[in-house]
């Protein structure tokens, strides 16, 4: 089906939201309308008048004041007037684009230095295993509920309002801090070519205008830009993998066979002499891996603006994991074979210093000229891409948080214009992004460190919330006499996969507390602790403050009271079951290799 036909079909979809199920609190069915206006320029007006009109707010009907808080949240997020312009290719590249950035190209260098090549692989492989479960669980929820705010609303809806409040604030703080962080990173990257520091603010201004300009073009402009950015990054990583294999096998200009030299004495595969020391250094990789992998959840956030989430989200969820696992694990394996963890160049001035990129070091060390500059250009593009994704994510989160009551209404951050742009939220991000102009200040290093601290564990808390929401959704289905046979997409890792990810993330957060309080080779100190663990106390303060304010002492919403219907784009459950059964029957007639491919990809 072509994009035009798909978009036309999407416009014709019935916009009635499935009624909320009855329970002790909600005894009556409530008919809801997802009042999305399809605004088109008027032929009777000039181009300038239509341009001005496009910035006017979309009218959304007032809700019944007698509805409960939970009902209002479900309805508001379900009928948000964001435009459904993202295609499958956009969704896949948005997730890949958000996850391939400075965390891979530059941040992996600090992980290599601190834990050795084997430690890096162990940390990233374990992280990839639970991310598979997170992405699959998120895919299941996002297909069923393509609503405003995506996964940021699931915790409030399926777990508990206080948990959702804390998780959303934690994720929002991570997003808004990463924007100036990435722009400062880009300005530092140009130092590789000897650019004077006095021009750093000029580069910040350039990156600032590009990122904000892309987001003002609306969701389609954002999707196309991210598609191009991600193709460039993926091409760079694939090119490095091919080059890395050639260099390891001795095909470089020096003609030396490298093999596993960097894993042997005097270099070594691990950092540390004892098992306890090596374990502690490996644990330090998980925070870096979380920062590097953060962005895989963007497909769930973009579901509300997807043209056909039932078809596009499952493919994006499964393929994103395999692609990122391939890029990270294979690329980092080659980096560990080509660069010694004792190389002085890995120290760098900051995690944004392109000269400290192990990819650049690997190429320079083996006598290849020209390519290091190409990689640094890609690093700049990667930084722009991640900053771009953060503006998109943060602006949509702010809209959903106002709709859920987690941000005050008077902020108008839920203002969405006729082009589907959250203008006030974008304006807020534009103002906050001005912090990046600290790049030319002597205090730039300190600001950079604390912005990084705010975003450090945010991804882990987000992934934990996604998996916990999936668990609670499945329990609610069972408690209300429903089953997975009515789901458009069932997570391949299932309920146990979400339990696995929750348990593993909880263990990692607990052990990170230990490594942050008693770091390897340094004495315990408050600055080091909070630089690594600042997100955790923020989460706890937000959670318990909301509990006290709301006087809500329940840890979970009872399974029988969880709303599992409002916001579904497919309103006829029986017809949906019949369609799913037919699709499964057709798939069963296909060859084994085809069925295996569809299951995994």
Q: Is the dihedral of CA 573, 575, 580, 585 positive or negative?
A: positive
pLDDT value of position 26 = 34
Report the greatest alpha carbon distance in the chain: 78
Report the C-alpha gap between 162 and 364 in whole angstroms. 51
Alpha-helix residue ranges (DSSP H) falling in 190-217: 200-216
Whole-number pLDDT of residue 10? 43
Q: What's the pLDDT at 65? A: 61
CB proximity list for 320: less than 8 A, separation 6 or greater: 92, 95, 96, 99, 135, 296, 299
Alpha-carbon distance of 197 to 289, in angstroms, equals 30
Averaged pLDDT, 434-448: 69
Average pLDDT over residues 198-224: 81
> What pLDDT is attached to residue 46?
65
> What percentage of the chain has pLDDT greater than the value 70?
75
Q: How confident is the model at residue 351 (pLDDT cuts 50, 70, 90)?
A: very low
pLDDT band for position 33 (50/70/90)?
Answer: very low
* 43 vs 116 pLDDT, higher one: 116
Q: What is the pLDDT of residues 53-72, one digit of tens each?
A: 666 666 666 655 666 555 65
Mean pLDDT over the full length of the chain: 77
Is 338's pLDDT higher than 80? yes
Q: Encode pLDDT of 557-586 as tens digits.
A: 899 988 888 777 655 667 767 777 777 788
- Per-residue pLDDT, 9: 43
Predicted pLDDT at 334: 92
Interatomic CA distance for residues 60 and 298, integer angstroms? 26
pLDDT of 465 > 80? The answer is: yes
Residue 585 is predicted with a pLDDT of: 81
Q: What is the pLDDT of residues 136-145, one digit of tens each?
A: 898 888 888 8
Q: What average pLDDT does range 215-224 have in this prediction?
A: 79
Residues in the chain, how many? 601
Domain segments of the chain: what residues? 3-7+87-468+496-559
Q: Lowest-confidence range among 9-23, 79-93, 190-204?
A: 9-23
- Rounded Cα–Cα distance for residues 420 and 476 (Å): 33
The mean pLDDT of 399-414, rounded to a whole number, is: 84
pLDDT of residue 95: 63
Q: Which of 59, 304, 349 is nearest to 200 (CA)?
A: 349
Rounded Cα–Cα distance for residues 468 and 153 (Å): 13
Distance from C-alpha of 191 to C-alpha of 185, rounded to nearest angstrom: 10
Provide the β-strand partners of residue 86: 306
pLDDT band, residue 345 (cuts 50/70/90)? confident
> Cβ–Cβ contacts within 10 Å for residue 288, how many?
24
Of 99, 156, 487, the closest CA to residue 297 belongs to: 99
**Cα gap 165→539, rounded to integer Å:** 9
Q: Using alpha carbons only, give the angle 313, 132, 559 rounded to the nearest 5 degrees.
A: 75
Q: What are the two backbone dihedrals, phi and then psi, of residue 57, each rounded to the nearest 5 degrees?
A: -75, 140
| Res 158 pLDDT > 50 | yes
What is the Cα–Cα distance from 106 to 358, expressed in whole angstroms?
A: 7
Question: 48-52, 200-204, 484-488: lowest mean pLDDT where?
Answer: 48-52
Predicted model pTM: 0.82
C-alpha–C-alpha distance, residues 576 and 51, integer Å: 40
**In angstroms, rounded to a whole number, what is the distance separating the alpha carbons of residues 150 and 562?**
17
Amino acid 415: pLDDT? 84
**CATH number at 3-7+87-468+496-559:** 1.20.1740.10
13-22, 138-147, 451-460: least confident range: 13-22
In the predicted model, is pLDDT for residue 472 greater than 90?
yes
Q: What are phi and psi of 270, to 5 degrees?
A: -125, 165
Rounded to 5 degrees, what are φ and ψ at 14? -65, 130
* pLDDT tier at 475, thresholds 50, 70, 90: very high
Residue 152, burial from CB neighbour count under 10 angstroms (0-12, 13-18, 19+): buried
- Closest Cα partner for 180 from 443, 432, 384, 453? 432
Instruction: Decide which of 97 and 547 is more confident.
Output: 547
Which H or E run includes 32? strand 32-33
562 Cβ contact partners less than 8 Å away, ≥ 6 residues apart: 157, 158, 472, 473, 476, 479, 480
* Cα angle value 496/498/501 (rounded, 5°): 110
Helix, strand, coil shares, percent, the chain, to 5: 70, 0, 30
* pLDDT at residue 32 tops 50: no
Question: Any residues with CB less than 8 A from the CB of 327 and at least 6 apart, and which?
Answer: 100, 104, 234, 237, 238, 241
Tell me whether residue 419 is exposed, middle or buried, using C-beta atoms within 10 angstroms of its C-beta: 0 to 12, 13 to 18, 19 or more. Answer: buried
Q: Which two tokens stand for residue 107?
A: 């941040």
- pLDDT (tens digit per residue) in 534-563: 888 889 999 999 999 888 888 888 999 888
């Amino acid at each position: 089906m072509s994009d035009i036909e798909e978009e036309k079909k999407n416009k014709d979809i019935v916009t009635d939201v499935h009624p909320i199920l009855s329970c002790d609190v909600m005894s009556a069915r409530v008919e809801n309308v997802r009042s999305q206006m399809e605004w088109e320029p008027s032929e009777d007006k000039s181009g300038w008048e239509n341009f001005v009109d496009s910035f006017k707010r979309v009218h959304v009907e007032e809700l019944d004041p007698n509805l409960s808080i939970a009902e209002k949240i479900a309805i508001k997020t379900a009928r948000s007037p964001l435009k459904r312009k993202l295609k499958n290719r956009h969704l896949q590249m948005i997730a890949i684009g958000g996850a391939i950035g400075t965390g891979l190209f530059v941040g992996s260098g600090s992980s290599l230095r601190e834990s050795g090549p084997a430690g890096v692989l162990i940390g990233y492989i374990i992280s990839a295993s639970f991310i598979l479960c997170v992405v699959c669980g998120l895919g299941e929820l996002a297909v069923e509920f393509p609503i405003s705010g995506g996964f940021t609303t699931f915790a409030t809806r399926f777990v508990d309002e206080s948990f959702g409040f804390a998780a959303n604030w934690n994720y929002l703080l991570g997003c808004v801090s990463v924007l100036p962080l990435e722009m400062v990173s880009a300005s530092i990257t140009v130092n590789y070519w000897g650019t004077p520091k006095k021009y750093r603010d000029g580069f910040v201004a350039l990156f600032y205008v590009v990122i904000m300009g892309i987001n003002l073009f609306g969701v389609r402009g954002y999707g196309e830009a991210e598609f191009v950015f991600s193709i460039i990054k993926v091409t760079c990583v694939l090119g490095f993998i091919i080059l890395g294999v050639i260099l390891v096998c001795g095909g470089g200009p020096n003609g030396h066979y490298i093999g596993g030299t960097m894993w042997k004495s005097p270099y070594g595969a691990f950092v540390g002499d004892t098992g306890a020391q090596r374990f502690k250094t490996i644990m330090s990789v998980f925070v870096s891996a979380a920062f590097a992998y953060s962005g895989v959840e963007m497909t769930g956030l973009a579901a509300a603006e997807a043209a056909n989430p039932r078809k596009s989200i499952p493919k994006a969820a499964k393929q994103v994991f395999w692609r990122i696992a391939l890029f990270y694990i294979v690329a980092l394996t080659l980096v560990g074979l080509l660069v010694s963890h004792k190389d002085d160049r890995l120290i760098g001035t900051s995690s944004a210093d392109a000269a400290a990129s192990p990819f650049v070091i690997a190429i320079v060390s083996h006598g290849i000229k020209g390519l290091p500059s190409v990689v640094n250009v890609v690093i700049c593009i990667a930084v722009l891409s991640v900053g771009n994704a953060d503006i998109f994510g943060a602006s949509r989160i702010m809209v959903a948080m106002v709709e859920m009551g987690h941000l005050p209404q008077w902020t108008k951050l839920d203002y969405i214009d006729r082009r589907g742009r959250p203008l006030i939220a974008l304006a807020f991000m534009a103002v906050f992004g001005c912090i990046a102009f600290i790049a030319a200040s002597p205090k730039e290093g300190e600001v950079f460190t604390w912005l990084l601290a705010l975003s450090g564990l945010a991804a882990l808390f987000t992934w934990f919330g996604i998996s916990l929401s999936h668990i609670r959704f499945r329990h609610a289905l069972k408690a209300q006499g429903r089953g997975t046979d009515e789901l458009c997409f069932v997570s391949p890792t299932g309920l146990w996969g979400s339990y696995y990810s929750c348990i593993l993330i909880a263990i990692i957060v607990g052990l990170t507390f230990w490594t942050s309080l008693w770091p390897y080779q340094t004495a315990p100190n408050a600055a080091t602790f909070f630089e690594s663990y600042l997100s955790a106390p923020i989460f706890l303060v937000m959670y318990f403050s909301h509990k006290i304010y709301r006087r809500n002492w329940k840890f979970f919403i009872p399974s029988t009271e969880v709303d599992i219907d409002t916001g579904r784009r497919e309103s006829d459950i029986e017809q949906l079951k019949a369609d799913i059964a037919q699709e499964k029957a057709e798939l069963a007639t296909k060859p084994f290799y085809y069925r295996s491919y569809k299951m995994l990809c």
